[in-house]
Amino acid sequence: MSKAVVELRGVTRSFEQGGTRIDVLRGIDLAVQPGEIVALLGPSGSGKSTLLQAVGLLEGGFGGEIVIAGTAAEKSDSGARTTLRRDHLGFVYQFHHLLPDFNALENVVLPQMIAGKSREAAEVRAQELLTALGLGARLDHRPSQLSGGEQQRVAVARGLANKPDLILADEPTGNLDEHTSDAVLDQFLQLVRGEGSAALIATHNERLASKMDRVVRLHEGVLE
């Protein structure tokens, strides 16, 4: 079997709140293989965002082992974690994280230039992605000039821009109506499959989860 893009072994996370300890993650074991699209399903408050934060290497405080592309992230220093994140991970946030003063094209170009690509190459890639998502005629629109579904498509393009091995998405269509949510998720999954990336996508929606390759359920701090 090929090497997992991420492997979690016994991952834990607790929070202290008003003198009480909440054990949100109680020993998570999970491996995502290259190209595999995994739904992380669980009700509100079950710890989906916390689990994605563990994999995203943006926060500390986790116990257990987090292995990204064969490297033990929890043993790496912050510089090495930044490199792991840049080289292997992509994030699809909800659309309110788009940069308001930049147009759709620029929002997708910027993360590529930060990763070291030339502006020309980044623009070609951004245009390809946005056109595949049906936004070819909206490239110069700023987020405020786009609908919610269109903004979320820009957020999808931005997350995929650097061809990550693993895409992390937290309720990527959570604030869209049902019809738009289905349309955006279908396009998102089609693009991810086409590019051969793996994805870990948090959702509380069973129907959306059933579109993915595998569903893991978060319940009382463990995956069942």
Ligand X SMILES: Nc1ncnc2c1ncn2[C@@H]1O[C@H](COP(=O)(O)OP(=O)(O)OP(=O)(O)O)[C@@H](O)[C@H]1O
Angle of CA points 53, 56, 61, to nearest 5°: 50
Distance of CA 167 to the CA centre of its chain: 4
46 binds ligand X (CB under 6 A): yes
Question: Which part of the chain contacts ligand X (CB under 6 A), choosing from 47-55, 99-107, 135-143, 207-215?
Answer: 47-55
Query: Is there binding between residue 92 and ligand X (CB under 6 A)?
Result: no
CB 60 → ligand X: shortest distance, Å? 12
Among 9, 141, 204, 217, binds ligand X (CB under 6 A): 204
* 151 binding ligand X? (CB under 6 A): no
Taking Cα atoms as reference points, which of 13, 14, 4, 67 lies closest to residue 38?
A: 4
What DSSP string runs through 98-134?
S-TTS-HHHHHHHHHHHTT--HHHHHHHHHHHHHHTT
Is 41 or 104 the residue whose CB approaches ligand X more closely?
Answer: 41
Amino acid at 199: A
Beta bridge partners of 11: 28
49 counts as binding ligand X under rule CB under 6 A = yes
The rounded distance, in Å, linking the Cα atoms of 218 and 216 is: 7
To ligand X, the closest distance from the beta carbon of 45 in angstroms equals 4
Nearer to ligand X, 24 or 104 (CB): 24
Interface residues with ligand X (CB under 6 A) are 15, 17, 22, 24, 42, 44-50, 204
